[in-house]
Every structure is written in structure tokens, then in C-alpha cells.
Structure 1
């Protein structure tokens, strides 16, 4: 819905500008805090078996549990936000995240910690909800840059989470990580409750419970197979059974959704050229982006005696990667400006090309800390450009009443790309090794292979983006009740 009259007065314009000046930073900070939860436990995962008296295989569930609940909660919260209010669902998700932080902070065994991490993952839908609120509430000339900032917060939070968590873990009990996340959760709940208005764009209708359950089963099966396949064996009955379950359930789910009156995911909208290609490009691009999170910390922490490792502490690793997050955020304005001038399709292509070139350069520059800082910052710039363009492409192809669900589905596709990247990197590190004393470590070629695959994945995203439509929507996409497949395109700024 429009946030101002057709001929707004100066007072109305000032009010809208003042409101946008508050909404954007509040939602961006909220998105950063939510994304930070994903990498919060990375510094302590190797220590969890000793701290909790559990096996290394079992403690990886502290990461896997967050991944699974995020996959389920993201599309569900997006649909509920479209139906009952995006701010309401955002606050609900943040309260669940706070509860998870408190449970983890009070835990002394693996079970409660996994429960807490699962509850933290349920807030992953906050970022697409925030983008949708921006579309509903901000002046249309601010939506592009604001959505770019909110979208970039996903990468910024992940990048900043590592140094913050490492600093806390090195100087305090591991419980302090979760007390800190509890305080941050309470802070963003207060900010959203006080400063973010409720969007009035609603779809109504009934919630598709069967669709939600079907999609949950399919996603959990798929992501479990991807994330745990290396531990269980890629040819094991469990892994293959989960992949088969995911395929069968997705096919049945798709058939059911096409017949549903009020589906969880509108597959006819999702199948539109612009939405489909944007989601596919998002998956392959996120694969390339997340590879960096796997490569750089591992390379920097390997013993320097290997000849290619750097023997640095986790805190040094985190501080070296922190500039990347700042670069991502700083590129939001450039992303919006390029999208206004050339369209978000071009912006996505430039971002993907930048990331691909950075990984190719990384195969030559990987022996000094400044090499890795330079490469991660260039990749951060490409991610900032691309992530800023993606919401505009999605919102340019869907009616305002379905923005939450559409953005949530796109976020889910990015998460699948992240998970697949982690699995592929794990396989490469496990099989392309060198002997170092009695230990097998990833070889230099393992890192170069992973870099080459990531560069190729970014090129695939570039190629997919090249087939996106060029035409612009002739009217403001935020106020269009229906958008036909012939008119989907890049929204006006």
C-alpha cells in the first residue's frame, strides 16, 4: 500500500523521511544481530566435546540445529507476516531468539544447548520480514537503498560474529557468548517494538498447515543430508534415504500447493521468470559467498610449518575478516545507485563477476594476511552489490501482499546455497590432504580447488542473472495487486 497521498504535502514528506531515518537503522541492526547468531558458536565448537562431555559428532548439532529450524521458520514466518502483520511476526521471532539465548546461557549439557540453538535459528525470517516492512512503509525512492542495507546485514552479521565471539570466548566462559546474545536480543526487541510501525499490507486467508508441514519435512531431510552426509557417508542408507525423502515430499508438496486455495508458497508466482531466476542465482551466489567463511579461517589457523598455513589465533582470524562486513554494508548505497541507473539485474551481474574474479585472484594471493584481507574485502564488495540487488528483483515481480513470503523463500534459497557450500568444502578438506606428522591436513591444492569451485559458482550466478528480464514495471510495483508474467521486471526507484 502507498505510504503517502498522491500529492504529498511538505509536512508529509518530512514525516516520511524522518520515519525512514529511524526504520532503516533499527531494522539493519536487528538483521545484523539475527545473522550474528549463525556464527556465534563457531569459536567454541572444537571445545564443546570437552566442555559438555560429549562426542565431536554430537556437538556439531549445535550448528546443525540452528540451520534446520532456520530453514523451517523462514518461509513460515514470511507467510504469517503477510497474513497477520510483518512487525508482529518479527517480534515473535525475536522473542523466540531471546528464549533460545537464555536456554543456551543456562545450559550445562548438550541437550539444552541444542534446544537453545534451535530456538535461535527460528529468528532467521527476520531479515526478509524487515525488507518487506521497508517496501510497505518507506517512500519508494528509499526502498532500494534501504533493502540493500537490510539484505547486506545477513553477511555483515556473519562476518562480525566471528571476531566478537572469539574475543568473548578467549576472555570469559562460553556461557558469556549466550548472555551477550540475550542482551542483544532484548535490545532489538525493544527497538522494534518502539520504533517500527506495523505494516497494513495483508493477504488474509487461512494458514496452510499441511503445506508448512510438507515443506518442513522436505527441507529438514535435504539439509540433514547435506550437512551430515560427510559424517554418515554420502552413499550410506541414511544419507540417500534423506535425499530420496526430500525429492518425493517436495514433488507431493508442490502438487498440493498448486491446488491449495491459500498456499504457503505461491508456486505460480515463484515460477515467474524473474522470481525463479533470481532464486536460482541467489543459491549459486550464496554458495560462492559462504565458501570464504570456510576457507579463510581454516587457512589462517593451519600451522605455518606447512608452508601455506599462517598459524594465527582465532581472534586474529576474526579481526582479519571483520573489514569484509564493513565493506558489505558500505556498498549498499552503491548497489542502490547502480540499480537505479542500470537496473538490479546489472547490479547482480557486477556483484557476481566481482566475487568470481576475487576467488580467481585468491589462488595466486594466499600467502600473507594482507592478501586474505584484500580478497575478503573485494568479495565483500561483490556480495554487498549483489545482495542489495536481489530484494529489488524479487519485489519487482510479486504483489505487495506476498512480499514477506517471496523474500523469505529467497532467503531460504540462500541458506541452501550456504549449507551446500559448507558440505562441499568439508568433502574437499577431508579428501585432498597432506600428512603433517601423524595428522592429515587440507593441502594447498584443497584450498585452491575450493576457490576455483567458488569462482565457478559465482560465474553460474552471473550467467543465470544474464537471462533476467530487462523491462521495467510500468507502475509502482508496491501498489500493484497483481503482476503478470509478461510485466515482471525491475522496479522503479
Structure 2
């Protein structure tokens, strides 16, 4: 029951990232607004989630993961309800900010699994939950079209409201409170500085394709983000109880895994965001298939299914050849899929096949990244470490989307659609990012069984809680 609640929570959070992507034009019409304003329905959610994911993870480490999980689910549910009833675009954007507070479900889920699950089930549970990140994002794009056409776009929020409200109630009843806590008070200044540099960075990246990378506003936002980031790091190293432990972030097993997460995020989010646009482009433009929202989403369905399936087998495979090897192979496989898409996209089966290859690779990488982070830190740091890892994936997605948007929109055809060369070059760049993730994965340290025993939780009753699959992988 605990695992079911965690899976539903993570799936709901991830679905909310992508459900609105294919229907932004519909929202623009319903609320009689412009495209730039409608885009903030997505941007506001990503900004809010980026800020609250590490903060809620840290609060869970301090005040209790079950308690903060319920609060995160309540925020997702409340935000979904307000969004479903929103009378204006402003209220809808505000509701999306509230929904973003639900980003805490991800680090909290990993923390609860590590604290509560039997040692032989931790690796598999982490892999499945991790794979739901990619599965949920792809599934949201698939479901958006059928739900909107049959029930209306507001049901994109009614259904998550119902599901997350039930999950919150069940979490109160069945999810045990984790005994592992990090003592100390939460400092307010680091939280404000974290929010500041994330907002400046993500707004700058998301608006760069529209305003231009050389725009004074974009340059100003990126410089501001760099300044606040530097101040934030300095403050975190000086406060008595840091929000994010900088010593932890410098651990080889943490920073290397975060670098891979950044690069994998570049490839995954941007490919999911632009493939529907490619599919929906009229074939009269010389490429594309003129697909409807529903049809273009269904073309991504096989990839979403493959992502989930490889997530189920990732833990057993990692126990044999090592999680690091799986991450490197998965990232490289994803890069091959993107290069295939860049070279061959004249037929639907080519796009579907390339997406399956890419999804399989990303699914393998995602399923093992969280496990590597969990193994690299102490139990008290699980929430904040996995929260920052998820946050870095989102930042990577923002970078990839901004770069892809700039490349695709660099040249237009007379009919107003981007030229094919833009998509070809963009997909090739994403393939390069995934191959770079594979190279970065080689730097992830190989963890010995002795080091794992020191890092993973010591249970007073049972002794060291060390996963069998991790020990096997380390020995390999």
C-alpha cells in the first residue's frame, strides 16, 4: 500500500508537467489570451516545482517524510481543484504554482523507500519510481489529446484532483512516519536565495527563444542567476544548518550523478516537447504528418510503454553489471535513438522506432540515477539529495527546451512553419547531449561493498541495511 501511494504520487506529479504541453493553444483560445501568457501555464509549474522539490525534501528530512508527503499531495490536489475551476488565465497560473509545491513527492518517496522498505526490495522500488518520471511525462502528452477532445481541457485537472486527494487520505492512513531525521532548524535565507537563482535562471532559459539569447533581459537574468547562485553557495557553507549541504554536493558520487541527470534531462524533456510539434506539422511543409493532438500523442505511446518496462528490469540488470554501467549504456542508447530520429523521420514508423530506442535508453538511465544518489549519501540526506537531483533534471530540461526552441525557430518556411533542417539539427544536438551524459557517467565512482556499508542506513535491530543488488553490483 505504501508503494502504491508513492507510485501514484510521483506519477501524478510527473503527469502534471506534461499534460498541458499539447493543449496550450486550446488554453489560449478558452481564456482569450496570447501565446506568451499561455506558456506560463507550463513555466509557472516548472518554476514552482524547481523551488519546492529540494525544500520539501529537506523539510521531510527534518520534520518527517510522511507528514511532508501528505502536505505535498494536498498541494497537488488543491492546485488541481483551483485549476479545474479557474475563471481566468491568471487564476490558472496561480493554481499551477500551488501544484508545483507537490514536487516534494519525488524526494520524499525515495526517502520513505530507503527508511521503510526491506533491503532486498529497495533497489527495485527506487528503479520503478524513477522510471515513472519519464513514463509520466510521456504519458501526459499521450493522454492530453483524448481527454481534451472527449471531456474538455479542465478534466486535465479534475482527474489529478480526484487521484491525489484519495492518495493524500490513504497516505495518512497507511504510510508510516520515517524515524530517520536530520536535527536542526531550517534557515530562511538559503531558501530565499535558492528560489531567487532558480527563478532567474529558468525564466531566462524559457524566454530566451522568444526574446533572443542576446537580449539585454536574457543576459541580465542569467547574470543575476549566476550572482545569486554564488551568494547562495557562500551562505550555505556558513549557516549552522544548511538547506543544501555543499559538502554533500561535492561528493564524487553526487556531483557526477547530478551532471549525468542534467544532460539526460536536456535530451528527454526537449524531445518530448518538440516531437508532438514535428508530428503535427502539415506534410505540405515537406516534413511532418499533419497529425492531430491525439494522433501525435499516440505515436509517443510505444516509447512510454518501453520506458516503463525497462524500468522494471533495470534493478535486476544493475545487480549483475552495476548501476553505473546501466546509466552509461542507457544514455548512449538514448543518444543513438536521437541521431536515428535526426537522420530518418520521413515515415511514421521511423519516428516511432527512433523514439522507442531513445525511450529505452532514457528509461534505463533514469531508473538507476536515483539509486546512485541514494547510495552516495547518508539516510538523513536522502530527501534533499534526491530532491536536488530531480531539480537538476528539470534545469537540464529547461536548457534543452530553450536550445531546441532556438534551433527550430531559427528559420521559417513561407507557410509559417519551421524549416525541416531546424528539427534535424535540434534532434542531433539532443543526441549529442545524451552521448555526453554517457561520457560523464564514466566518471561516476565505483562503490565498494565496504563504502556502501558506511553510507547506507544502520538499523539497530537488523544491522546494516545494505541492498543485495548494490553489493553484487559493487563486487562486479
Category of TM-score, reference length = shorter chain? over 0.9
- The aligned residue for residue 39 of structure 2 is 60
- The aligned residue for residue 453 of structure 1 is 429
SS in 2 for 1:317: helix
Partners of 1:306 and 1:174 in 2: CA distance: 29
SS in 2 for 1:203: coil
SS in 2 for 1:331: helix
Deviation string 1:39-92 (CA, Å, 9 cap, x unpaired) is 121232112232112222122111111011011101100100100111111110
Residue 48 of structure 1 contacts residue 56 of structure 1 at CA under 8 Å; is this kept in 2?
no
Tell me whether 1:307 sits opposite 2:286 in the alignment.
yes
- The aligned residue for residue 229 of structure 2 is 250
- The aligned residue for residue 236 of structure 1 is 215
Partners of 1:280 and 1:344 in 2: CA distance: 16
Residue 53 of structure 2 contacts residue 106 of structure 2 at CA under 8 Å; is this kept in 1?
no
- The aligned residue for residue 417 of structure 1 is 396
| Residue from 162, 169, 173 that aligns with 1:183 | 162
Residue 71 of structure 1 contacts residue 219 of structure 1 at CA under 8 Å; is this kept in 2?
yes
**Deviation at 1:446?**
1.2
Residue 21 of structure 2 contacts residue 273 of structure 2 at CA under 8 Å; is this kept in 1?
no
Tell me whether 1:375 sits opposite 2:354 in the alignment.
yes
- Output aligned runs, 1:60-459, within 5 Å: 60-436=39-415, 439=416, 441-459=417-435
Residue 365 of structure 1 contacts residue 372 of structure 1 at CA under 8 Å; is this kept in 2?
yes
**Deviation at 1:320?**
1.6
SS in 1 for 2:414: strand
**Deviation at 1:139?**
1.4
Deviation string 1:193-243 (CA, Å, 9 cap, x unpaired) is 333222111012101211101110010010010011222332222211111
TM-score w.r.t. structure 2 length? 0.93
Tell me whether 1:467 sits opposite 2:446 in the alignment.
no
Tell me whether 1:478 sits opposite 2:459 in the alignment.
no
Residue range with higher mean Cα deviation, 458-467 or 175-184: 175-184
Deviation string 1:327-375 (CA, Å, 9 cap, x unpaired) is 1111123211222112211110011011011111112321222222222
SS in 1 for 2:471: coil
**Deviation at 1:284?**
0.6
Partners of 1:243 and 1:311 in 2: CA distance: 37
SS in 2 for 1:311: coil
Deviation string 1:155-178 (CA, Å, 9 cap, x unpaired) is 111111122221121123322222
Q: Which runs of 5+ in 2 are unaligned?
A: 460-468
Partners of 2:52 and 2:429 in 1: CA distance: 30
Would the alpha carbon gap of residues 371 and 191 (structure 1) be closer, same or farther in structure 2, given more than 3 Å must change?
farther
Residue 73 of structure 1 contacts residue 125 of structure 1 at CA under 8 Å; is this kept in 2?
yes
Would the alpha carbon gap of residues 194 and 317 (structure 1) be closer, same or farther in structure 2, given more than 3 Å must change?
farther
Deviation string 1:98-141 (CA, Å, 9 cap, x unpaired) is 11111111112111111111111111121221112111111122
- The aligned residue for residue 486 of structure 1 is none
Partners of 1:231 and 1:128 in 2: CA distance: 33
Please report the RMSD computed on the Cα atoms of aligned residues, expressed in angstroms: 1.6
Residue 18 of structure 2 contacts residue 140 of structure 2 at CA under 8 Å; is this kept in 1?
yes
**Deviation at 1:480?**
5.5
SS in 2 for 1:34: helix
SS in 2 for 1:171: helix
**Deviation at 1:491?**
4.3
